[in-house]
Amino acid sequence: MNKITDVTRRDILDIIRVGFNGTYKERKLDYYEHEYIEEVPCEYKMCYHGRLSEIDFLSRIYDLKSMKSTDSRFRDAESDIWQHTVNNDDWDMDWVFSDPRFKLNTGSDDPLLKFLCEMFHPVVRNETQPWREFLKIINELLKPDGYELYEMSHISGRAVYGWREIVANSIVIAEHNPAVSYELKPIGEGSYAKVFKYKDNYYKRTFVLKRAKKELNKNELERFKREFEQMKALDSPYIVDVFRYNDESNEYIMEYMDCTLEKFISENNGKLTFVQRKNIASQVLRAFKYIHSKDLLHRDVCPKNVLVKLYDDVRVVKVSDFGLVKIPDSELTSVSTDYKGYFNDPELRLEGFNTYCIIHETYAITRLVVFILTGRTNTGKIENTQLKEFVVKGLNTDKTKRFQNIDELIETFNKIKE
């Protein structure tokens, strides 16, 4: 195969020859002895043959005794190389990259990929050198040409790397031994991310992958990762589980749910009993009671952000999408943050989304409960007296008369009868 372009070859070989500039994180103290992290510029360099001599390294990939010598005095490449790199030491340091016998700067992709994998082998690599940084930047260069170096197996707990072609729209699960790649099937898209599902053959389960869009800026990526971290920190049967974040590709894995609450209600609106509807709403309210107990506000309460899992004997609903979650003292919510969430209080358009507080959250939750109990978003034609009282209080234009906390809302909800 010849997928690796001349440009990629050049860049990879230049990095191996001369290294590259990067940064590392260093903990420091300011004038007031407050700790902070500073990214310090540095230069990364690494010897490609690591702990081994050049001949020992090359012998792991090539049969040097069968290769021709370029010096007529010697019968094979091994003798030739020893004479000029050890005995005379009269070849350039980087001779191997331009030597046509090794096919590293031209021709098929296979020799270069094998060479790169061997550089990172536990027998070869020097653990005191920045091999992880080299592996990362080489993978970044290979990716556009459709290749990656991946953890193929382990020796004494240390990764052995192989190479493979990258399948479009795939995910690599490095935790499986050996690592495996699964095809991704798109199932949705939001403001920040594209959403896929895949079947994990080891666990015999379907999972969801949420991948940040490439055009996100630094703050948006930070918010995207914060969504994962916040969901990971929560431990409730009514919050969607998340499992692993990949910093290199800005994506994370989460549990698969069958559909959104919006879709479920739409498809089953004529079949759901009042008892079933109230059970669904009760689960949603338990979720928000837990969220609020952690001093968090979801801020994007709507039927699309509540997901449904259909088991043989029960329906489980879970709250998802914490991308707009409000955390105390967070600096990611500015005055200019856009109004979002179609169940949110419309007065937020004038007040500014940064003013969002508990009475705005209970407003949205009230609308969500009404949608679950009636299957409608219109609150103007409600005949049930108790539900009407619930709506009047939850959506009151006078904010002092609204539900001031989730417990107050739940208490009134529990009084609603068919």
SS3 for 113-140, per residue?
HHHHHHHCCCCCCCCCCCHHHHHHHHHH
Residues 232, 291 within the same domain? no
Question: In the prediction, which pLDDT does 367 show?
Answer: 97
**How many Cβ atoms from other residues are within 10 Å of residue 337's Cβ?**
15
Phi, psi of 170 (to 5 degrees): -135, 165
Residues 321, 389 within the same domain? yes
Number of domains composing the chain: 3
Do residues 297 and 326 make contact, with C-beta atoms less than 8 angstroms apart? yes
In a domain, 170, yes or no: no
Residues 35, 123 within the same domain? yes
- 126, 149, 172: which is the final residue of a domain? 149
DSSP assignment string, 279-344: HHHHHHHHHHHHHHHTT-B----SGGGEEEEE-SS-EEEEE---TT-B-TT-SS--TTPPP--TTS
Beta bridge partners of 207: 198, 255
Residues 29, 97 within the same domain? yes
In a domain, 348, yes or no: yes
Q: How would you classify the pairing of strands 158-165 and 147-155? A: antiparallel
Residues 59, 203 within the same domain? no
> Is 214 annotated in some ligand binding site?
yes
The residue ranges of the chain whose pLDDT is under 50 are: 331-339
Task: Round to whole Å and give the CA distance between 112 and 96.
Answer: 12
Residues 96, 121 within the same domain? yes
Question: In the prediction, which pLDDT does 301 show?
Answer: 95
Do residues 35 and 29 make contact, with C-beta atoms less than 8 angstroms apart? yes
Question: In the prediction, which pLDDT does 217 show?
Answer: 92
In a domain, 169, yes or no: no
Task: State which residues form the domain around 236.
Answer: 182-255
And the tokens for 294?
Answer: 């952690």
CATH number of the domain where residue 196 is located: 3.30.200.20
Residues 264, 202 within the same domain? no
- 149, 172, 196: which is the final residue of a domain? 149
Residues 319, 203 within the same domain? no
Residue in 376, 363, 233 with CA at minimum distance from that of residue 294:
233
Residues 187, 125 within the same domain? no
Question: In the prediction, which pLDDT does 168 show?
Answer: 63
Residue 162, burial from CB neighbour count under 10 angstroms (0-12, 13-18, 19+): middle
